[in-house]
Amino acid sequence: MVNYSTEKIERVRILISCQDQPGIVAAVSQVLFQYKGNIVQSDQHTTDPIGGMFFMRIEADIEDYEINSNKISDEFQGLAERFKMNWRLERASKKKRVAIFVSKEDHCLWELLWQQKAGHLDAEFAVIISNHPDMQRIAEEMNIPYYYLPVKAGNKAEVEKQQIELVRKYKADVLILARYMQILSSDFTRTFPNQIINIHHSFLPAFIGANPYARAYERGVKLIGATAHYVTDELDEGPIIEQDVQRVNHRDQLEDLKNIGKYIERTVLARAVKWHIEDRVLTYGNKTIVFS
């Protein structure tokens, strides 16, 4: 049995994706063993038994990580060249910094704040940015900086420039669109690839775009849902992280659908954010691998 000095141990998360081939798990394990790493959780997935893509997430406790971090990175870079793999290593102790974008609806914002307060979201809410002043009181109560940047005809590019500056100023690792009702430009989304999470009030790919509850009501749907996804150039077409649905019937009016939908939206978004900040999500093409 290996004895560890808990004062020097660092929990790390390692995410790997590459073409499936023999020796990957053994090579990764050997590097961790070499630097006194104890694997506490390991998950992997292969898209196809022959010639498919291989995905892996490892949590490991590494003794004296600070001293050996550069050497460990060099070792993994060597594996990356050998196996032609993408990889990243995250320290569990380093909380993700979050920028939250909101408009007028507050249910998703409140859910995120509550989840963090309850200890379920291990993140720092660095800044709240909005195109309306409505949420400023909430931000002040929670002691989170709030920026009101109204979007009007002709000033969208300038507003997005200010938003990007604020995200960088507050060193945000991830951007959450908590019912932020503005379409982001391609320049904005390309600035933060796989870092912007949106909650869409529909079970995608159904009812993409605006007013999905009204269109669902008109169609007489029997299920309504919500989808959390990464934002890309194409509206509501990014890789899906989480979804959920609830059954409705002919007695439910449009307002009923909206109220039911609010509950689904906030829970789906909170789960997606939690998985992202815990480094449980890998993207592949327009899909995600989400390790539980």
12-26, 71-85, 203-217, 230-244: lowest mean pLDDT where?
Answer: 203-217
φ, ψ at 133 (rounded to 5°): -85, 0
Cα–Cα distance list, 204 to 139, 242, 245 (Å)? 30, 10, 11
Q: How far apart are CA 38 and CA 89, in angstroms?
A: 15
Say whether domain 6-91 belongs to CATH 3.40.50.150. no
What is the strand order of the sheet 53-63 is part of? 37-46, 53-63, 9-19, 86-91
Whether the pLDDT of residue 3 is over 80: the answer is no
Q: What is the pTM of this model?
A: 0.93
Domain-wise residue ranges, the chain: 6-91, 96-290
For 49-96, the pLDDT digits (tens) are 767 999 999 999 999 999 999 999 999 999 999 999 999 999 999 999
Q: Is 236 a catalytic residue?
A: yes
pLDDT band at 203 (very low <50, low <70, confident <90, very high): confident
CA angle 6, 8, 13 (to 5 degrees): 90
- Selected catalytic residue, list 61, 173, 236, 279: 236
Do 6-91 and 96-290 have matching folds?
A: no
Hey, what CATH topology would domain 96-290 get?
Rossmann fold (3.40.50)
Phi-psi region of 226 (alpha: psi -120 to 50; beta: other; left: phi over 0): beta
The reported pLDDT for the residue numbered 6 is: 53
Contact status, residue 56 vs residue 29, Cβ threshold 8 Å: no
Contacts of 101 (CB under 8 A, 6+ apart): 128, 129, 130, 163, 175, 176, 177, 178, 180
Q: How far apart are CA 21 and CA 31, in angstroms?
A: 18
If you average pLDDT over residues 149-168, what whole number do you get? 96
